[in-house]
Structure 1
Amino acid sequence: MAKERIYKEGAVEEALGGTLFRVKLDDGGEMLAHPSGKMRLNYIKILPGDRVRVEPSPYDGKRGRIVHRLK
């Protein structure tokens, strides 16, 4: 049985090198995140100030993957 995924929302604060972004979460935390594979394939641009949905890594709570850019 697959585990249910957890998502958090926040705003991109800073674009770091190598498609890595610093995201300020709505709950007050910070996370380093990279775009998911489908976002890379479809050339979805992420800029500082964009609202995003992040899926935290199950291994490291300070890292995650951006799965959706919100409007």
Structure 2
Amino acid sequence: MADEKIIHEGLITEELSNGMYRVDLGNQNLVLGYLSGKIRRNFILVLPGHRVKIEISSYDSTKGRIIYRIDNKKSKKKEESNKKNLNTKKSKNKKLNNEMK
């Protein structure tokens, strides 16, 4: 019978040595998590404060494998607003340059 794995979402609270992290699952459970091979191979940055998906074995509920870093929606909105501000500044500069000619 295959090992049953449970996937939870959690918040990384602490970075430990050797790619290990302390993950808070939200229900006051702290789990020791390690990075999966795909995350290591693709050099995905995982830091305290990031939300992640963690795969926990049904045999040992104190350890798990971090399989996905969830993008922070706030940071995406900030990036989009920064891009918009940059584009408007560029268009204003172009207008000023055209007027000066």
TM-score by length of 2: 0.64
Write the mapping of 1:20-59 to structure 2, written as runs, cut at 5 A: 20-59=20-59
Q: Which has the higher contact order (CA 8 A, sep 6+)?
A: 1
What stretches of structure 1 of length at least 5 have no aligned partner?
A: none
User: Match of 1:58, as an amino acid?
Assistant: S
User: Match of 2:53, as an amino acid?
Assistant: R
Taking only aligned residues, the RMSD between alpha carbons, in angstroms, comes to 1.6
Write the mapping of 1:10-29 to structure 2, written as runs, cut at 5 A: 10-29=10-29
What stretches of structure 2 of length at least 5 have no aligned partner?
A: 72-101
Matched residues in 1 for 2:5 and 2:33: separation?
16
How many pairs align? Answer: 71
> Retained in 1: the 8 A contact 2:53–2:66?
yes
1:69 corresponds to = 69
Q: Give the structure with the larger strand fraction.
A: 1
Q: Which has the larger radius of gyration?
A: 2
Identity between Structure 1 and Structure 2 (%):
44
Deviation at 1:13, TM superposition (A): 0.4
1:60 corresponds to = 60
Deviation string, structure 1 residues 11-39 (Cα, Å, up to 9, x no partner): 00000000000001122211000011100
Deviation string, structure 1 residues 21-64 (Cα, Å, up to 9, x no partner): 00011222110000111001100010000000000023311000
TM-score by length of 1: 0.88
Matched residues in 2 for 1:3 and 1:62: separation?
16
